[in-house]
Chains A and B, each alone.
Chain A
Amino acid sequence: MPLLQVENMTHYFGGLRAVHQYNLEIEPGQIRGLIGPNGAGKTTVFNLITGIHHPTRGSIFLEEENIVGLRPHQIASRGLGRTFQNLRLWRHMTVLEHVKMARYSRLTYGLAGAFLGTPKRNREEEAIEVKALELLEMVGAESFAHQNVLQLPYGAQRRVEMARALATEPKVLFLDEPTAGMNPEELLQMMEIIRLIHKTFGVAIFLIEHRLKVVMELCHQIQTLVFGEVIAEGNPLEIQNNPKVIDAYLGKDIVA
């Protein structure tokens, strides 16, 4: 049974067709990639599945439940975590607060606890703090825990965003260009973190990437998106040798 299933998703922004007959099946624990030239609609696909826009046509099933029409936080609570292409951080909060915030849906102490500081609230807050520190340790950012997130170097910020997404306890993790702007050393670190996450949590991962090295080494299955349509789908070897893919990337260097 596929964890996430998208059927014939089509989306128009006004008169512009952004995504056409898009299909996706992600099995539990699978790592899938989404590549394609700039402007192909990859982030739009992400935004449609995570609920930021409602697709004009098509259906999306998360664990057999139709999630079209649900609000993003509802979809996130059901196990769909994500990171963002442009690093959406909260400029006045510390690293630890970022990761703790993502545990929002797990909190049960309600407004009474929030207003009155009940023992239940103290217990739950402490529990999410412990969990948050664990996740930060996993991505190697625990030493920054109490710093404002804007003070961190870029690579560390990306890792914090990763820990934040993990804190939602996703079954599927959508990563939007996780290595964008990274130097080769940071890139290898990030790939290690992705592998570690996959091994530790068994989470399925759906990855948008431009660095083909990352996609080829990590992904089980890859889709190539051009002008909102999937032109090729297969394992890394098949994609690398697919003439349509090569054509879409005409002249592009396959460089890490």
Chain B
Amino acid sequence: MTSKTNSDWRFRLKRFWAPVPLLGWLLGALGAVILEHIAGDPFSELLGLPKIPVLFGALVMLKKPLLIPSALIYVLVIYGMPLALVGRLCSGLANQAAKRLLQFSKPFSVLIHLVLLYAVLHTWSDLSAYRLLTLKFTLIAVMLTLSLNVINGYMGEFSCSHPGFMALGAYVASTFTLSLFVNDRLFGEALLPPSLGPFLFPLALIAGGLVAALGALVVAIPSFRTRGDYLAIISLAFMFIVKSLFENLEVVGGPRGMGSQPNWANLPTVFIWTVLCVWVINNFVRSTFGKALNAVRDDETAADAMTVNTRRTKMTGFLFAAFWAGVAGGLFAHVLRYINPSTFGIQRLAEMLAMVYFGGLNSVYGSILGAVSLSLLSEALRPLEILKWIIIPLLLILVMIFRPTGLIAFREFNVGNLIKPKIQTRIED
């Protein structure tokens, strides 16, 4: 009897929110961030908060526990209310709009959704430089987590080489931009006018990605003959070698690293590259070529006998993943505007692995979840200082014990399903 009533309220809750399409949620979120722009300052003053809570109140709540009720009220009113109201009340309109858009053209509908999403992110991050930085790093984390998931999840390896790929991308992209566009102590005079910069920036990132992909050969080729534990060591050795390489290359700053990269990694740029990354990787893993990664992982002999070119599959997987890690590295370098070899060591590896395994293996949704949640959590728990490094690992251990493959494993995007209108049906119990 009790269990029925429990699942009953959960069921009713689900039914209440079910008719809201993605478009509705995005509009609600947009309403929320606009409200924050208009009323955020006065409202937080009213509540006695020192300023607008930058990270959904988490930081305020941890630093000044007395303000917890105020922070909660803020979050509920400014974020929760518009989201719920606009989302639920306008769901009819939103569904109509979603239907019309989809009928008009699927790519166009996707574009509108992306523009809305960007508008939400831009408006939200506009209020604080800290928010902007956190957002950018989170988006980059999504790229890194997703690309690592291709190797560790879809291909089933345990690769420790990702910080190495990231480093290659970061250094190559930085060398590109610094030597060509900036007067700096490492490379001397700029060779091209800085106005050309933002247009050639994508080239710098791609160059970084390609070099990272080239580096991936060091791990991909041994993977033909061995896998599992030995490949893990080879990838680990690769990471240490790359780190040590840059420590010894005085031309790129050696242990002191490189700084003052031009400020071209703005939010639109990072957003577009992230969307591109998610889209391309999602396309790939849903195709038969992508599923071949799974077939090689689960039984290579059978895959071979079923006409799958196992070497090409492994090569593709590693190089493709490394490319995106390199691009993410390049973006990272230009967001932080300083890199040195120690940025790309064991600490970075642990962070990336945590995001992949926490969010979910072999899963696009999982990677996004893992990257976003751990990035935000890491920021939100900052006031706890060193305690943060007990809480986050503990959380991860709990997830590993209770859901060893991660929170949302084995789940891809189906874009069509995401943007389609939610039809109101009569619910049969």
- Chain A interface size range: 35 or more
A90 to B304, CA, bound (A): 12
A27 to chain B, nearest CB (A): 23
Asked if B298 is at the interface (CB within 8 A of a chain A CB), the reply is yes
**Binding site secondary structure of chain B:** helix
Asked if A101 is at the interface (CB within 8 A of a chain B CB), the reply is yes
Asked if B302 is at the interface (CB within 8 A of a chain A CB), the reply is yes
Q: Let me know if B307 and A104 touch, CB within 8 A.
A: yes
- Residues of chain A within 8 A of B338, CB atoms compared: none
Contact of A93 among B284, B298, B308 (CB under 8 A): B298
A89 to chain B, nearest CB (A): 7
A118 to B291, CA, bound (A): 17
Contact of B280 among A73, A93, A116 (CB under 8 A): A116
A105 to chain B, nearest CB (A): 4
Asked if B360 is at the interface (CB within 8 A of a chain A CB), the reply is no
A76-B306, A168-B307 given as contacts; is B287 within 8 A of A93 (CB)?
A: no
User: Contact mask A134-162 → B, CB, 8 Å, 1/0?
Assistant: 00000000000000000000000000000
Asked if B142 is at the interface (CB within 8 A of a chain A CB), the reply is no
Q: Let me know if A73 and B289 touch, CB within 8 A.
A: no
A125 to B287, CA, bound (A): 8
A101-B308, A111-B289, A117-B283 given as contacts; is B295 within 8 A of A90 (CB)?
A: yes
Contact of A114 among B283, B302, B304 (CB under 8 A): B283
- Residues of chain A within 8 A of B295, CB atoms compared: 90, 93, 101
A89-B299, A90-B299, A92-B298 given as contacts; is B292 within 8 A of A104 (CB)?
A: yes
- Residues of chain A within 8 A of B304, CB atoms compared: 51-52, 71-73, 76
A34 to B414, CA, bound (A): 47
Nearest A residue to B306 via CB reads: A102
Nearest A residue to B362 via CB reads: A92
Asked if A100 is at the interface (CB within 8 A of a chain B CB), the reply is yes
A50 to chain B, nearest CB (A): 6
A130 to B20, CA, bound (A): 34
List CB contacts (< 8 Å) of B257-302 with chain A: 280, 283-284, 287-292, 294-295, 298-299, 301-302
- Residues of chain B within 8 A of A165, CB atoms compared: 306
Asked if B305 is at the interface (CB within 8 A of a chain A CB), the reply is yes
Q: List 10 A-B contacts (CB under 8 A).
A: A51-B304, A73-B305, A90-B303, A93-B291, A104-B306, A104-B308, A113-B287, A115-B280, A117-B287, A168-B306
Binding site for B on A (CB under 8 A): 50-52, 71-73, 76-77, 81-82, 84, 88-93, 97, 100-105, 107, 111, 113-117, 121, 125, 128, 164-165, 167-168
In addition to A89-B298, A111-B316, 6 A-B residue pairs with Cβ atoms within 8 Å of each other are: A52-B301, A76-B305, A88-B302, A102-B307, A104-B309, A125-B288
